């Protein structure tokens, strides 16, 4: 069953793309995702894949090339980050609205201004409502696994939606970690052959793509999109169960870490979850019942399942690596609040904004948060619902 | 009208030529008028029409297809006419 390797998160994503052997990749470089397509182009040059690389003049064009190729009937993948995602934003809606199963690795990075190239979830949150399926990965292993599963989920005949797989810029994208690669043959068999649906290149059956849909039909297409999104969790779990058979690794819609008997909990995504797990372990040794919920599938957001998993805790801190400006809370906090709202029983919640622009998330920040949760669980008193942590002044 | 359960995924139109059913002539504010005696049948109007609103039979042009003509006026602009007399002129719609 495969081999242990020491590679960066970006290489892990590129390796998953190599296995999928896309027909076309439209791409434009942007830090910290450049490295994904750079490594992938070496697979193209070395004839390890049969992909047509389309090097465009912008990310808007890169996503447009992906859309054209996917509409033509090809398996398509790309990678981007930050300003690149922001520039392709218009086309992200087109990709999902046309129901094209495009796969995009995203090395999550902060948005300018001020200009910053480091790890942050602002780019992923900016494309949150674009109708794509979103996954966030804690480390290189998860980025690789999520990418492999992304092809299966996106291309599933009941779904046919684009999928983005996030990994933290630099923290995961450029750090070398050991991880298990699946044997190529087994991984290829898992992903399977691409089945084109209504391809434009089927010239014997002419068709039009991207028509004007006005007041009489637009709402029906949006309702259909919503209905497809509702089918996604079932397919994600089905694909995860099959993936476990070839990898031995188990995935859900989110990860519960020491959460079942927890009295207090932290919800945190991506690489910061790893740091938080270490701190939680040390608190558990002291007899403090603390657990973690780590979102994996961010869109569609598993509201009901997450509400069930968190309703029993007394106090919950949600950590956001992005802020929603306008005096409100972070995006993950808002989503988890929504998840808990229908429950009679629910925790007191606080929101910490951390790690923006790649600011280090250190164990002492997790300790600070857990100590506050312990106090809230005792007396129920919240000083401030939202707080920036790891910030000066 | 179709319900959301009956529509094709991604709004793909599987029926070729179905745009014929969507008549767009009502968008017109200006209307081209064909003056047959000034027409040399050069068919530049047919070449330039952004839709397919200039009907041609046996190499000769016929009346406009007003179901689809949006009155853009390109045909009138391009028309060389005969002896300085245009074979296509634009008029106010409904005149």
pLDDT in tens, A126-153: 999 999 999 999 999 999 999 999 999 9
pLDDT over threshold 90, residue A195: yes
Searching chain B, which residue's CA lies closest to the CA of residue A131? B10
Q: Is B71 helix (H, G, I), strand (E, B) or coil?
A: coil
Searching chain B, which residue's CA lies closest to the CA of residue A93? B10
Cβ of B14 within 8 Å of Cβ of A223? The answer is no
Cβ of A221 within 8 Å of Cβ of B4? The answer is yes
- The complex's ipTM works out to 0.88
Q: Is A316 helix (H, G, I), strand (E, B) or coil?
A: strand
Number of H helices, E strands in chain A: 13, 15
> Which of A197, A206, A224 lies nearest to residue B16, judging by beta carbons?
A206
Residues 66-85, chain B, touching A (beta carbon < 8 A): none
Encode A284-300: b = buried (16+ Cβ within 10 Å), e = exposed: eeeebbbbbbbbbbbbb
Which residues neighbour A257 within 8 Å (Cβ) at sequence distance 6 or greater? A273, A277, A280, A291, A292, A293, A294
The CA distance from A355 to A391, in Å, is 9
**Nearest C-alpha neighbor of A385 from the set A320, A292, A311:** A320
Cα distance between the two ends of chain B: 35
Question: pLDDT tens across A15-57, in order?
Answer: 999 999 999 999 999 999 999 999 999 999 999 999 999 999 9
In this prediction, what percent of chain A has a pLDDT beyond 90? Answer: 98
The CA distance from B2 to B74, in Å, is 37
Searching chain B, which residue's CA lies closest to the CA of residue A99? B10
Cβ of B10 within 8 Å of Cβ of A97? The answer is yes
Q: What is the mean pLDDT of chain A?
A: 97
Chain A positions with Cβ closer than 8 Å to B: 97-100, 160, 197-198, 205-211, 213, 216-217, 219-221, 223-224, 227-228
Question: pLDDT tens across A345-365, in order?
Answer: 999 999 999 999 999 999 999
Q: Sort out which chain A residues have CB atoms less than 8 A from B16's CB and list them.
A: 206-207
Continuous segment of H or E residues that includes residue A318? strand A315-320
Q: Return the residue in A161, A198, A214 with the most chain B beta carbons within 10 A, the one to mutate for interface testing.
A: A198
CB B33, CB B75: distance < 8 Å: no
What pLDDT score does B65 carry? 96
Dihedral of CA B1/B7/B12/B17: which sign? negative
Question: pLDDT tens across A248-303, in order?
Answer: 999 999 999 999 999 999 999 999 999 999 999 999 999 999 999 999 999 999 99
* Mean pLDDT value of segment A162-179: 98
Question: pLDDT tens across A316-331, in order?
Answer: 999 999 999 887 899 9
Q: Order across the sheet with A264-267: list the strands.
A: A254-257, A290-295, A264-267, A315-320, A348-353, A386-388
What pLDDT score does B95 carry? 73
- Structure tokens of A42? 């070496």
In this prediction, what percent of chain A has a pLDDT beyond 70? Answer: 100
Q: Sort out which chain B residues have CB atoms less than 8 A from A227's CB and list them.
A: 4
Cβ of B7 within 8 Å of Cβ of A198? The answer is no
Distance from the B19 Cα atom to the nearest Cα atom in chain A, whole angstroms: 10
Size of interface A-B (CB pairs under 8 A): 54
The CA distance from A181 to A264, in Å, is 35
- Structure tokens of A225? 């999109």
The CA distance from A217 to A331, in Å, is 31
CB B66, CB B25: distance < 8 Å: yes
> Which of B4, B16, B19 lies nearest to residue A220, judging by beta carbons?
B4
What are the C-alpha distances in Å from A279 to residues A96, A314, A333, A362?
Answer: 39, 19, 21, 10
Distance from the A93 Cα atom to the nearest Cα atom in chain B, whole angstroms: 11
pLDDT over threshold 70, residue A68: yes
Residues 5-24, chain B, touching A (beta carbon < 8 A): 5, 7-14, 16, 18-19
> Which of A197, A211, A227 lies nearest to residue B11, judging by beta carbons?
A211
What pLDDT score does B94 carry? 82
Distance from the A105 Cα atom to the nearest Cα atom in chain B, whole angstroms: 23
Distance from the B84 Cα atom to the nearest Cα atom in chain A, whole angstroms: 41
Continuous segment of H or E residues that includes residue A40? helix A34-45
What pLDDT score does A1 carry? 56
The CA distance from B19 to A313, in Å, is 58
In this prediction, what percent of chain B has a pLDDT beyond 90? Answer: 93
Cβ of A220 within 8 Å of Cβ of B2? The answer is yes
Q: Sort out which chain B residues have CB atoms less than 8 A from A216's CB and list them.
A: 1
List chain B residues with pLDDT less than 70.
none
């Amino acid at each position: 069953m495969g081999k242990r390797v020491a590679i960066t998160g970006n290489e892990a994503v590129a390796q998953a793309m190599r296995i999928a052997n896309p027909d076309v990749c439209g791409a434009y470089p942007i830090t910290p995702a450049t490295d994904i397509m750079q490594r992938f182009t070496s697979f193209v040059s070395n004839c390890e894949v049969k992909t047509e690389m389309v090097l465009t003049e912008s990310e808007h064009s890169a996503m447009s090339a992906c859309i054209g190729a996917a509409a033509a009937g090809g398996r398509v993948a790309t990678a981007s980050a930050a300003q690149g995602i922001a520039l392709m934003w218009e086309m992200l809606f087109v990709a999902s609205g046309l129901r094209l199963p495009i796969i995009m690795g995203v090395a999550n990075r902060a948005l300018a201004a001020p200009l910053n190239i480091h790890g942050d979830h602002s780019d992923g949150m900016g494309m949150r409502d674009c109708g794509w399926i979103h996954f966030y990965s804690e480390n290189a292993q998860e980025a690789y696994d999520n990418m492999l599963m992304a092809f299966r989920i996106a291309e599933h005949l009941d779904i046919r939606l684009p999928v983005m797989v996030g990994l933290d810029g630099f923290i995961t994208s450029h750090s070398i970690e050991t991880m298990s690669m699946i044997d190529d043959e087994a991984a290829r068999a898992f992903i399977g052959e691409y089945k084109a649906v209504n391809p434009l290149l089927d010239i014997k059956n002419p068709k039009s793509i991207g028509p004007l849909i006005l007041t009489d039909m637009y709402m029906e297409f949006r309702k259909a999109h919503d209905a497809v999104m509702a089918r996604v969790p079932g397919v994600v779990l089905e694909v995860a169960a099959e993936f476990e058979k070839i990898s031995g690794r188990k995935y859900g819609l989110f990860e519960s870490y020491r959460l079942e008997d927890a009295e207090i909990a932290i919800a945190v995504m991506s690489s910061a979850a790893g740091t938080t797990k270490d701190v939680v372990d040390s608190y558990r040794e002291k007899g403090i019942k603390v657990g973690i919920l780590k979102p994996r599938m961010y869109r569609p957001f598993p509201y009901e399942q997450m509400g069930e998993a968190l309703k029993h805790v007394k106090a919950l801190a949600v950590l956001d690596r992005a802020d929603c400006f306008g005096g409100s809370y972070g995006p993950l906090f808002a989503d988890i609040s929504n998840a808990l709202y229908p429950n009679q029983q629910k925790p007191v919640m606080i929101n910490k904004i951390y790690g923006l622009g790649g600011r280090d998330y250190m164990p002492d920040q997790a300790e600070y948060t857990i100590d506050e949760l312990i106090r809230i669980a005792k007396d129920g008193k919240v000083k401030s619902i939202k707080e920036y942590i790891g910030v000066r002044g | 009208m179709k319900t959301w359960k009956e529509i094709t995924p991604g709004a793909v139109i599987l029926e070729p030529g179905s745009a014929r059913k969507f008549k767009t002539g009502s968008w017109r504010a200006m209307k081209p008028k064909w003056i047959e005696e000034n027409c040399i049948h050069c068919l530049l109007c047919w070449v330039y029409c952004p839709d397919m609103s200039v009907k041609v039979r046996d190499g000769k042009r016929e009346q406009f297809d007003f179901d689809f003509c949006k009155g853009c006026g390109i045909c009138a602009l391009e028309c060389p006419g005969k002896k300085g007399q245009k074979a296509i002129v634009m008029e106010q719609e409904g005149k």
